[in-house]
Structure 1
């Protein structure tokens, strides 16, 4: 487990012994900190315990007012079976709790505090602590749930950062029939500047804000390129482990060390409270690859718990260069770009100067229960030898939606997973599900009997699913089953019998569109000729084809290796079958035959909006014409109408979940239609959000959804706000090749707008054609869409209205001198053949 430091228990076992021999580095500190609260408790001890690092731990007998417990149970030993046990005095005694017990500490200064818990299962004549199972919580946060320290060959050390004011209580709750125990507790104030309120997001998105409201658990704290750093050396009594167990490519790295006295701290930047001198005095750099252009990354892999976002701090100090601007490199986290072209000289203006940077890694980017941090050379470096370094690394777990740092149970002991606790309503639903499951089981039995009695010519049917079809008919779902290496999909239908023996009539009766035989689509696309490909997406390739004697259609063929494609295929059919709107791409039909998943749409001859903004290639003999500002406004208005219909006009509201310029298609008249509903979700009717894993396209993701995994219709509004700036500026929403502050379009545009310099990045092809009033109203709409919290964003109806108003201001600007002081104006607007009155109103 990431936070218990078991991986390097041998280092921890030597921890206190090493303190006796590691000299204190006599260096000048530019920071000092005296904690307002400093509770150090040796639990179960009869006397004060002094550690080699100079800290004194009081006995909880001496501080009995802190402890509330029903029974006075203690244990102590003279030694423990760990090498150099005499250097581990904190683990020679323990307090045991047979029932719920509490340590309470009065807080003199509100703020973040260290909570450090020490565990080692000592022997006791009545209780076997190696079998103990218990939980530890504060009033607001679960620290440990069903924790057990079964390994008597190593200690367990847990470290947390928790906000506290007035009083901080630790509740020890043993599992039924078990006991809880603790060897030592530390509650110590933390300097305010240690953890910021915001950090850059990975994958790249708007900065993660609100860190001050999160509890954190330290999972890993590594001194890269060096050895163990003891609390005696660290001003905040932190333990820094060696990075050796985590270096996944040691052959490519070389350790570098300088005198810690040479390390400097910049004014207004890193301090000794952020990390002590020895962290910055050691580093790992790229080993000599005997080539002028080495192409590899230094890599460290750390195990972590899934289901949590992680705060990651990287420490850098250029102790390898001979002169400034020699060292420029890239930083990756879980193979996603975190920093492109990091020039330490530009950050610190001097060599040997401490620098750090923070990130929050989204839970959705964590695979295989690990975090991979990499640094590597920047391609095409103009000067200096290709190299990359890392000096220190910290990884901290953020509490999840259950406000837990260990599992999905809240402080009340109730399950707080994605679907929440099991309310009576949910229990009733579960009961109904059980009955339905039982019914489905008997249905399968009937199908198997029918299968045994199938006609000999059953293979003449199109597919196994078509043989099943006459049995049932109401709705469809898709199941993936595998035999060997071959994946087979079957369509299972509901309970209403159909008189039709064919797919086409069945699906037309169900309103799900036309069913196409696979051979029809082969003919339509000339056997899926690569020359017919007009687009490629996550689901698969899109082909242009002709059906029914010349009608052009777009045919999206699913990638058979994609398991996710099955869900997208089903969702697309179910969503579009019940949606009909002028600004939504229409689904004509589909094919579910021969292990194929194919969707057939109306053809949009002018393709994705993005291509018209910046899709033309250099030296293209037929470049895509530039869209005028009026055309862009009309396209945005059409897209907003489509999304507004999704949110409010459908029988049940729908959240698109992947709004972006490649999913806004244009027909021959540049009429905009929203497309691709494979990730869409029905809008919540009761709780106001859908708890779901984060999916969508980076750069467009709602930061609130990104943080909390709670999807709302305002998530689409945020994405549409990014689209508006993309339309205005005609550049990609994420461009890792640009300087850090310009990588994310939404952030960069908002920063420039606040400074009054937005014109700097408006598409130069249209910058002189936009009226001031139209631009102001358009940017106002985009800015409101990008509010940090969904509750502060307008609905799509308000966004639509203001875009229509921006269009009227643009059209009127050539004829009427509009006064900025006017509060009302009447403009005639031709809208669906009718006259419409436009009255200006502010966004909410």
Structure 2
């Protein structure tokens, strides 16, 4: 412990520890490990947001498995403790909420990491925990119950040097017992191979873009392990980098060099920033041919990391649809995580509903946008044999192009659907955005495509009522839009909370069919919700029932003069583009006119 005065040991009776089903067991670590922990102490330092730090000297020529044990024995209720976990200065888990992962308190949880020798500096393994900005508590805190550091055997199957178990030395000075002729032939073969590789290297170097320099990629940093998948990547291994995906024929889009993206954004000029979100900053870039791009640059300390980066690339490389935002390419040079998307001129749907000075959308425009979004989600769910679950459907992840065509974006949290017809769900930790989360998925941690349907139901009411999914500033019964809208609908007074801008412009038949679709999406149980195909049918029917825009309405009853021409495209001042720091969906004011990021609630 490098700062012992900042730590305080806490403990509870071991019989209070309850092991979960399918998780940690007494064989993972006994009760007394999880019944004790170090938490942050009031150390009298000026900045209370310090990290608890443990350091262990290790042999830097080996790789190590790090197992961290957690059990929330300090909180008085759920969702009170959020903290970050770091391994050797790199973020391993952001905004860890143990009560959400375990659905309770006093329940063990552990996480494994592999750290390779190239990531170990000064011969030390450093474990840190510290408070997260997500926490709403006035008393920042972080805990750690146990640490295991396991040395990994090397290529000789040894934990000490390059001697194998049979005594054979496989180091650089080893000499196999072969005849002189074989040795000479081997040397000649090596020489010929070396010359061929040298010539190939010269040719490839001549063909490289100007200014190109190979660097260690972000994927070689530090990867968390899941029980079903173990990744071990070394910065010395070419096969571990994303550029190798391109050469393997997976068609993951264009690989941009860092120099290209620097030129496109004028060295990532702050004036080019058009949005800030959980992954990092988003820049407006322009290539030499005039093509505009949305360039999302990852922040290593953000709430989203290498997993989301890989998922976004792998998912979007397989998807091509009119109503899905296209991934053009990526860059992972110099430990960067950068994603490059098509330019979406009118930005997120949310900005056109509330919280900005942009002209509002007409009811017909809103219907068409909802229909386009539903088509994109329907394609995700049915476009492949396994299907894809978006897992973060919300109005900031529905973007509009220059023709107000809706496209679903941000696939960093997406998951492949059940692998076979015998499976009804995917068991996974809860991720998504507050206000849009399917309550059944939250309770059972069983993800299905109906979880997207529930989130889309919230979006439908958000479009109709033009207010956030969560608004803590409102009275308690009005905070959650989905619950409030359903309550008002049951009372028969839903018209009281409809966006005043469109009141009087909606035909009763269209409104009835639209609300019927939203209501079915918000059914408590997934089996009672419609598929996205059914939702799409209801919305298209609602558009037909709307018919042509009414011409006999009193303008005073429909809209204020300043937004009278609702069907005209929004105008924006390129010199006054607004930048938003999205950290939560409970109280946003204004979004980017071009791009939006997602908030990952855990």
Please indicate the TM-score interval, normalised by the length of the shorter structure: 0.5 to 0.7
Alignment of 1:597 with 2:337, yes or no, is yes
Output the CA distance in 2 between the equivalents of 1:248 and 1:505.
Answer: 47
Residue in structure 1 matched with residue 537 of structure 2 by the alignment: 801
Deviation at 1:481, TM superposition (A): 4.3
User: Larger relative CO (CA 8 A, sep 6+): 1 or 2?
Assistant: 2
Structure 2 length as normaliser, TM-score? Answer: 0.58
Distance 1:714 1:305 in 2: 31
- Stretch deviating more after TM superposition (584-593 or 630-639): 584-593
Q: What's the CA shift string for 1:20-73, capped at 9, x where partnerless?
A: xxxxxxxxxxxxxxxxxxxxxxxxxxxxxxxxxxxxxxxxxxxxxxxxxxxxxx
**Residues 1:463 and 2:214 are matched in the alignment:** yes
Match in the other structure for 1:785:
521
Cα distance, 1:615 vs structure 2: 3.0
Equivalent pair of 2:391/2:451 in contact (CA under 8 Å): yes
Pick the aligned partner of 1:629 from 363, 381, 389.
Answer: 363
Q: Distance in 1 between matches of 2:305 and 2:43?
A: 39
State how far apart, in whole Å, the 2-side matches of 1:718 and 1:506 are: 36
Kindly provide the CA deviation profile for residues 359-408 of structure 1, in whole angstroms up to 9, marking residues without a partner as x. x96337989989x999889xxxxxxxxxxxxxxxxxxxxxxxxxxxxxxx
How much does 1:564 deviate? 4.0
Aligned to 2:452, the other structure's residue is in SS state helix
Task: Measure, in 2, the Cα distance between the counterparts of 1:514 and 1:247.
Answer: 46
Judge conservation of contact 1:507–1:514 (CA < 8 Å) in 2: no
1:724 to 447, 456, 460: 460
Q: Note closer, same or farther for the CA distance 1:248–1:636 as it changes in structure 2 (3 Å cut).
A: same
For residue 221 of structure 2, what is the aligned residue in structure 1?
A: 480
Q: By how many angstroms is 1:598 displaced?
A: 1.1
Q: 1:738 to 1:651 in 2, by over 3 A?
A: same
Q: Which residue of 1 aligns with 2:276?
A: 536
Task: Give 2:481's aligned residue.
Answer: 745
Give the corresponding residue for 2:575: none
1:612/1:7 Cα in 2 relative to 1: closer, same or farther (>3 Å)?
A: same
Partner of 1:675: 409
Equivalent residues of 1:528, 1:543 under 8 A apart: yes
Shift of 1:650: 3.0
Alpha-carbon separation, structure 1, partners of 2:424 and 2:355: 37
Which residue of structure 2 lines up, in the alignment, with residue 156 of structure 1?
none
Tell me the residue number matched to 1:546.
286
**Contact 1:465–1:491 under 8 Å retained in 2:** no
Q: Deviations over 1:63-103 (max 9, x none)?
A: xxxxxxxxxxxxxxxxxxxxxxxxxxxxxxxxxxxxxxxxx
Partner of 2:239: 493
Any idea what SS the aligned residue of 2:412 has? coil
Residues 581-613 of structure 1 show CA distances to partners (whole Å, capped at 9, x for unaligned) of: 000001111112111111111100000001111
Q: CA deviation at 1:652?
A: 3.2
- Residue in structure 2 matched with residue 44 of structure 1 by the alignment: none
Structure 2 CA distance, aligned partners of 1:808 and 1:658? 29
Name 1:213's counterpart in structure 2: none
Cα distance, 1:682 vs. partner?
A: 0.8
CA distance in structure 1 between the partners assigned to 2:358 and 2:29 by the alignment: 64
Deviations 1:698-721 (A, max 9, x none): 111111111111111111111111
Higher helix share: 2
- For residues 548 and 485 of structure 2, the distance between their equivalents in structure 1, rounded to whole angstroms, comes to 27
Decide whether aligned partners of structure 1 residues 367 and 581 sit closer, same or farther in structure 2, where only a CA change above 3 A counts.
farther
In the TM superposition, residue 562 of structure 1 has moved relative to its aligned partner by 4.1
User: Does residue 1:362 correspond to 2:100, yes or no?
Assistant: yes
CA distance in 2, matches of 1:701, 1:579: 24
Query: Does residue 734 in structure 1 map to residue 452 in structure 2?
Result: no
Equivalent in the alignment of 1:656: 390
Q: Please say if residues 525 and 532 of structure 1, whose CA atoms lie closer than 8 Å, have aligned partners that are also in contact.
A: yes
Give the deviation of 1:689 after TM superposition: 1.1
Aligned length: 406
Q: State the distance in 2 between where 1:147 and 1:552 align.
A: 52
Whose strand fraction is larger, Structure 1's or Structure 2's? 1
SS in 2 for 1:768: coil
Could you tell me how far 1:522 is from its partner in structure 2? 0.6
2: CA distance, partners of 1:574 / 1:141: 28
Q: Give the CA deviation at 1:685.
A: 2.5
Kindly indicate whether the alpha-carbon contact (under 8 Å) linking 2:326 and 2:342 is maintained by their aligned counterparts in 1.
yes
Cα RMSD (Å): 4.9
Structure 2 residue runs without a partner (length 5+): 1-9, 45-68, 84-97, 109-130, 140-156, 158-169, 175-189, 206-211, 224-232, 553-602
Question: Counterpart of 2:59?
Answer: none
Aligned with 1:535: secondary structure? Answer: strand
Is residue 472 of structure 2 the alignment partner of residue 761 of structure 1?
no
CA contact (8 A) 2:220 2:240 kept: no
* Matching of residue 614 in structure 1 with residue 354 in structure 2: yes
Q: Partner residue of 1:701?
A: 437
SS in 1 for 2:319: coil
Aligned-partner Cα distance in 1 for 2:28–2:343:
58
1:601 match: secondary structure: strand
Structure 1 residues 498-552: Cα deviation after superposition (integer angstroms, max 9, x where no partner): xxxx959945953211111111111111111111111122111111111141011
**Shift, 1:145, TM fit:** 6.8
Structure 2 matches for 1:327-476, cutoff 5 A?
333-334=80-81, 362-363=100-101, 462-464=213-215
Alignment of 1:230-379 (within 5 A): 306=71, 312=77, 333-334=80-81, 362-363=100-101
Following superposition, the deviation at residue 480 of structure 1 comes to: 2.1
- Residue by residue over 1:282-332, the C-alpha shift from the partner in whole angstroms, topping out at 9 and shown as x without a partner, is xxxxxxxxxxxxxxxxxxxxxx97499x9959xxxxxxxxxxxxxxxxxx8
C-alpha distance in 1 between matches for 2:102 and 2:271:
36
| Cα distance change of structure 1 residues 728 and 549 upon mapping to structure 2, 3 Å threshold | same
State the Cα distance separating 1:738 from its structure 2 match.
Answer: 1.4
Offset of residue 783 of structure 1:
0.8
Q: Unaligned regions of 5+ residues in structure 1, if any? A: 1-5, 10-116, 120-134, 152-218, 220-245, 252-303, 314-331, 337-359, 378-437, 439-444, 467-476, 496-501, 617-622, 817-844
Q: Which residue of 1 aligns with 2:506?
A: 770
Preserved CA contact (<8 Å) 1:478 1:492: no
Secondary structure (helix, strand or coil) at the match of 1:534 reads strand
Aligned-residue offset at 1:762: 1.1
Query: 3-state DSSP class of the match of 2:359?
Result: coil
Q: State which of 541, 554, 568 in structure 1 corresponds to 2:308.
A: 568
The alpha-carbon distance between structure 1 residues 810 and 569, as it changes in their structure 2 partners (threshold 3 A), is: same
Asked if structure 2 preserves the Cα contact closer than 8 Å seen for 1:612 and 1:627, the reply is yes
For the residues of structure 2 that align with 1:148 and 1:573, how far apart are their CA atoms? 37
Q: 2:321 aligns with which of 581, 585, 589?
A: 581
Contact 2:328/2:340 (<8 A) preserved? yes
Residues 1:701 and 1:149: Cα distance change in structure 2 (over 3 Å): closer
Q: How does 1:73-84 map to 2 (within 5 A)?
A: none
* 1:407 aligned partner: none
Match of 2:400 among 666, 673, 681: 666
1:669 is displaced (CA, Å) by: 0.6
